[in-house]
Copies of this chain bind each other. A is one copy, B any other.
Amino acid sequence: VTAKNGKGMVQVFTGDGKGKTTAALGAILRAAGHGLKIFIVFFMKGNYTCGEYITLNKLPDVTFASFGLRQFISKNKKIDPREKKQAEAALAAAGEAVRSGDYDLVVMDEINVALDYRLIALEDIIDIIKNRPAHVELILTGRNADSRLIEIADLVTEMVKIKHPYDKGVKARPGIEY
């Protein structure tokens, strides 16, 4: 694997606004155009069919893995051990992809949320980041990014919600929101 993009950085997309996962997908579209090898792990999605899966499947240089139960998680409820197991498996998959050096870009989608819900440990994420091969670019998405991750990251954008149709009761639409 050639380090086509030189030294890999760490990007974090956080905040309560729409556009975090969407921006990660856009980064993949862009990177794939340059022939970079890409791995994306969805931490909190489950394996239901999203529009992005169909397109990602068509891009030869993109590999993806999807984890999480398809259920609403609340911070006030006790952690579902199955949910924790899924998040740990997602982190293991991400860690393996990073350490292999086979990928130029590894996206960990909603990892911030998995951490915020204490499904995975901060130290394990930092270990993956710090011990990665030099050419590997990382993108971490999800609201409530940990301050330590923001500190380590090279690029951080906070997606701030100014307006969202969910607030007016509009439901998620296929092809647009998922």
**Residues 27-39 of chain A, each 1 if its beta carbon lies under 8 Å from chain B, else 0:** 1111111111000
Other-chain contact of A163, B15, B154, B161 (Cβ < 8 Å):
B154
A110 interface residue, CB < 8 Å from B? no
Q: Is the pair A26, B21 in contact by a Cβ cutoff of 8 Å? A: yes
Known: A28-B29, A174-B5. Is A164-B155 also a contact (CB below 8 A)? yes
For A178, give the chain B residue with the smallest CB separation. B30
A169 interface residue, CB < 8 Å from B? no
A52 to chain B, nearest CB (A): 5
For A162, give the chain B residue with the smallest CB separation. B156
A49 to chain B, nearest CB (A): 9
Q: Other than the known A19-B20, A19-B23, what 12 A-B pairs have Cβ atoms closer than 8 Å?
A: A9-B165, A9-B170, A18-B157, A21-B26, A25-B29, A30-B51, A31-B176, A104-B175, A105-B176, A154-B163, A158-B162, A160-B160
Q: Spell out A's residues near B (CB within 8 Å).
A: 4-6, 9, 11-13, 15, 17-36, 50-56, 58-59, 104-105, 137, 150, 153-165, 168, 170, 173-176, 178
